[in-house]
Amino acid sequence: MRLALWVLMLALGSACFLAWAQDAPVAVSAHRQADRVAIIPIHEPIDRITAYSVKRRMELAIAGGAQALVFDINTPGGEVPAVLEICAAIKASSVPNTVAWINPQAYSGGAIIALACREIVMANEAKMGDALPIRISLTGVDVATHGELRTKQVPPVLAEVVDSARIRGWDEFVVQAIVIDKVELWWIEEIAPESGEPRRLAVNESEFRVLFPGTEPPRGLPAIVGASTEGISGLIPGQNLNKPPVVPQSDTEFRPATPALQDLSPALSGESSAASAPDLDMLAAVSARPVLTAADTGKWRVVRYLTNGSGPIVMSKQELLDYGFGAGTINTDEELLAFFGATEVVRIKPTVSERIVKVLSNMWVRMLLIAVFLLALFIEMVSPGLFVPGLVAVGALLLVMAPAWMLGLAGWWELIAIMSGIVLILVEIFVVPGFGVFGISGLVVLFGGLVMAFVGASGSVFPSSPAGQADLTRSAVMVLLAMVTAGGGMFAVGKYFGSLPILNRLVPPLSYESDGSEIGFVEAMGSSTDLGLLVGSTGAAHTVLRPSGKVEIDGVLYDALSGYGLVDAGTPVRVVRAESWQVVVEPIDDEGESA
């Protein structure tokens, strides 16, 4: 009996202890602990809309009292200026407790954003890396492994990740291997640290030979495989990368992970005109990386061959943990709650309007909108008074301008240019008939305004840069495609509009026989050859010509344009020439002479 009582008491005690243990708070370090955590998802290709949205959500979270910001990253990357904008916002945040959650992929720009955060946590299938800049143009994809693209696109990205490494404590050479190829590294460990855990860091071949004289650097299968096992450009056979280690002249000077990167820094290459001057030579954060010399021989041991430089590296969850980037594994919001010791976790997603604007900023959507704008404008011009095409044209134009206006990247100049082009075309059609200075000027100004509106939401910060020139060229081509598409639509409207069962109801009868019967839309528009038969014919203005209107000739109404100013209704007129779907008339007196 007594034994049974003891067993019962032990079971009850164990149950109480387990219940308490489950409810007891998990010990969390002071720098990480946060009661209120805001999760900001980045689950799409990164562009300026994304940057705008992320910054807005950060401000909203901070204003709401968030004590930690978690960036839930699952993205293939995106535009470099937008990525750098997000990184700057993270580093300047008034909430320093920032965590990147690789959930599960952070490639390219996603990796750069993750490195800007104070800590990185990963889902089980996490992958992070391959931030080599590329440029997508109409001729294909250019990779920044050589030429002007390398000297202009790589330095700002390299400067960003090196700055993050120095601020956050990442290995300064490994982050360079994420951004560019030709970075061959070995992972070494301190043998007898003076205190605490032994230091571990990546070294290049030059440093390896200094630390291990007479020992050939071990190669073979690297621990971290590059984005391409065959190499995007690879190490050039016979290239002499075994140069003496660069001795930094200051704690902030850029320290290239390989001599192949020295040309990206004017201070190291001696080329003061290098395009990278505003980037790598203006690093402000102090490097904590030791300067390795012959005095350090025997103090380090080789752990493994890290990467062969065949391509920018991509790290898995385990590799992120092994090389000092990962702070833990997180797969659910509940695990994230425990990670911070938080009481509340809130997800702040992009708004519907931001999603709509992101769709509208897609270049193919914008091209379609420009085509709709031009086609609707055409229909309104040839059929004044319909209103519906005019409203469609205005709506399409506003949708084209919306992304740039929302981001503050476009002023009124683009709209003024577009409207000026339309006015000049109208002057050519209705005031100074023909196809001369006003018409050509109008088309040029309209084209320029549409191109600048197209560039506004996705263009580069510096128009003279390769990226800026590529954006301008792509925008011009897309506007030309839109014009060609609209031209096809204009032809179809002119040929088939009147026969379509629904659309023809939108078009009021343009012409009537004298007995009141309708003439179809196409017949009313006619062709230059048919209307040319009317040249020299006389009739009367059926409506006031201001300067456009209608005239009646032999009992049939025609669209007409006065070539000589305002003509009152009932005034005798003579056809002086024919245009595409209207005749140009002049007033005459009762004897048939020009008035």
DSSP secondary structure of 187-198:
EEEESS-SSSSP
Domains defined along the chain, listed by start? 32-130+316-350 (3.90.226.10), 147-312 (no CATH), 353-499 (no CATH), 509-587 (2.40.50.140)
Beta bridge mates, 541:
551
**pTM attached to this predicted model:** 0.72
Separation between Cα atoms, residue 280 and residue 259, nearest integer Å: 15
> Which positions ≥6 away from 139 have C-beta within 8 Å?
none
What was the pLDDT predicted at 397? 83
Encode pLDDT of 216-258 as tens digits: 999 988 999 775 534 333 344 344 445 666 677 788 888 888 8
Q: Could you check whether the bond before residue 547 is cis, i.e. omega within 30 degrees of 0?
A: yes
What was the pLDDT predicted at 198? 92
Separation between Cα atoms, residue 178 and residue 188, nearest integer Å: 19
Residues 585, 563 contacting (CB under 8 angstroms) = yes
What was the pLDDT predicted at 375? 86
Residues 110, 82 contacting (CB under 8 angstroms) = no
Encode pLDDT of 472-505 as tens digits: 777 788 888 888 888 888 777 766 654 444 444 4
Encode pLDDT of 413-449 as tens digits: 777 888 888 888 777 766 665 556 777 787 888 888 8
> Which positions ≥6 away from 438 have C-beta within 8 Å?
424, 425, 427, 428, 431, 432
The mean-pLDDT minimum among 193-197, 338-342, 405-409 falls in: 405-409
Residues 281, 265 contacting (CB under 8 angstroms) = yes
Average pLDDT over residues 405-417: 68
In sequence order, what DSSP letters do the residues of 12-68 get, joined into one string? Answer: HHHHHHHHHHHHSPPP--TTT--SEEEEEEE-S-B-HHHHHHHHHHHHHHHHTT-SE
Residues 254, 276 contacting (CB under 8 angstroms) = no
What was the pLDDT predicted at 246? 67
The mean-pLDDT minimum among 115-129, 259-273, 290-304, 387-401 falls in: 259-273
Q: Could you identify the residue written with the tokens 């023909």?
A: 434
Give residue 279's pLDDT band: very low, low, confident or very high (50, 70, 90). low
Separation between Cα atoms, residue 86 and residue 45, nearest integer Å: 13
Residues 364, 477 contacting (CB under 8 angstroms) = no
Q: How far is CA 361 from CA 45, 453, 506, in A?
A: 12, 11, 31
